[in-house]
Amino acid sequence: MYIRVCGKRTYMYKIARCTSNDVAELHALVNMAYRGPESKEGWTSEADLIEGLRINQDYLRVLLLQPNVVLLKCTIDDQLAGCVSLEMVHFTCHLGMLSVMPVLQNLGIGKLLVDASGKVARSLGCKQIQITVISVRTELIEWYKRLGFQDTGERQPFPVKDQTFGTPRQVLEFLIMQKPLTHENLR
């Protein structure tokens, strides 16, 4: 349990693993954080870059069944506020789907989820954590840099034929960022 005071309000954060009971809420949260009019209330919106859903419920159910995948959620006063997926591949944890309710962004929830992700990944034997970020999302890239991620120089094209994650409105590519998981950077 984490406690944070913002102005006159005290927030009680809790990080836990997601279950199949969370699918409907996760679906709504992830799509709200990335796409659609609600996403523009926060700073992580991709609505101008990609149309369609960010994720569907079937894909979430599949993720929850994968033995090498962990989905974490952050609740504030028992209400879903954020989530993240972790996929373990060899000694690397691939962090994805980091989502925070747009009206709750800038309360430290994203950083809390990234920190919790690092601790989970380290406990599972991972040596580094990796993330893909759309290369034109400079404000997001800078945010990850402040958290200790570095650009690997590697790029991947955004999948245009796989509509699982939406349809890009322009040619997009992913920038790969990585952070070593040492005891020093797991605060």
CB atoms within 10 A of CB 53: 18
Can you tell me the distance from the alpha carbon of 118 to that of 86, in angstroms, rounded to the nearest whole number? 9
* Residues ≥6 apart with Cβ < 8 Å to 166: 35, 46, 50, 51, 52, 53, 54
What confidence tens digit (pLDDT) does each residue in 109-155 have? 999 999 999 999 999 999 999 999 999 999 999 999 999 999 999 99
Can you tell me the distance from the alpha carbon of 129 to that of 114, in angstroms, rounded to the nearest whole number? 10
Q: What is the CATH number of the domain that holds 50?
A: 3.40.630.30
User: What's this model's pTM, rounded to 2 decimal places?
Assistant: 0.88
Q: Which domain covers residue 12, as residue numbers?
A: 2-185
Place of tokens 């992700």: 117
- Rounded average pLDDT over 1-17: 73
On average, the pLDDT of the chain sits at: 88
What confidence tens digit (pLDDT) does each residue in 154-166 have? 999 887 766 667 7
Q: Please count the structural domains in the chain.
A: 1
What confidence tens digit (pLDDT) does each residue in 49-71 have? 877 778 899 999 999 999 999 99
